[in-house]
Amino acid sequence: MEQRVAQPRAQEPAPGKKRGDRTLRSFWKRIRKPLAQSRFVKGAIVSLFVQAMRFIRMTNRTAPGSIRFEGSEYERLEPAIIALWHGQHLLMPAAYPSRRDLVAMVSRSADAELNAQVIERFGIETVRGSGGREDARHLDKGGAKALIGLKKSLAAGKNVCMIADIPHGTPREAGMGVVLLAKLSGRPIFPAALATSRRKVLEKSWDKTTINLPFGRLAIAAGRPVHVSADADEAEMERKRRELTDELNAATAKAYSLVDGGR
């Protein structure tokens, strides 16, 4: 009678490894909340991120063709609303090109608290809210309050920054919140993008989050300013939303072409 030799199961971890993994996950669950509530730990993480961003900015030389605000059309149009895409904005606090004060909208989620603290370390004010909704007519109380705060900042002569696309929605498709702020404030939108030649793209993230790396080239690009009239109706608002989407995508493509041109 022919005997079959049992084949070992591929990639099956040993029992001890399984127990180790469960123990590690259990330990992390126990300490995660206390760590998140620790001012010392949060301060250390924020400091680490700030120093890393400054180092990355310092070690990336500016690529030819990167935008200059001084004496440009953009400087003459300030104060303005700077619009960025999710996942492409992480280094912008360390590379903000204007001399004008800046106020940034940051999500009200608990996960965004560290992000707000990092931004504030660069001297940028923050307001909490969500401005990327598809239907800006139905902003919640927090979102409406944030837009009012940003409108006041613009009136005071400060630039403001908003992420244009909707969290976990369609990436690189502008929502209506930025367009609504432009209508209410009378200020133009600057579609902007930042890219570095050395980077790590998190392909599995919904927005293709891009981690900028040191020792390369950096470029900031901007699309044509988008103006929204105070009497814009729904059709005009939708047209401006599509225009903003196109200009942001064009700015993003240009930023990447500037840093990748020498490859």
d(CA 82, CA 69) in angstroms, rounded, equals: 13
What's the domain range around 81? Answer: 53-260
4, part of any domain: no
230, part of any domain: yes
32, part of any domain: no
- By C-alpha distance, which of 64, 63, 101, 65 is closest to 82? 101
In total, how many domains does the chain have?
Answer: 1
Map residue 46 onto helix, strand or coil: helix
d(CA 222, CA 98) in angstroms, rounded, equals: 13
| 38-90 tens-digit pLDDT | 777 788 889 999 999 999 999 999 999 999 888 899 999 999 999 999 999 99
Map residue 221 onto helix, strand or coil: strand
10, part of any domain: no
148, part of any domain: yes
33, part of any domain: no
Q: Indicate yes or no: pTM above 0.85.
A: no
227, part of any domain: yes
26, part of any domain: no
d(CA 15, CA 164) in angstroms, rounded, equals: 48
| 213-256 tens-digit pLDDT | 999 999 999 999 999 999 999 999 999 999 999 999 999 999 99
Strand residue runs (E) in the chain: 61-62, 81-84, 102-106, 125-128, 159-163, 189-196, 199-201, 210-212, 217-222
- For residue 115, the Cα-to-chain-centroid distance in whole angstroms is 10
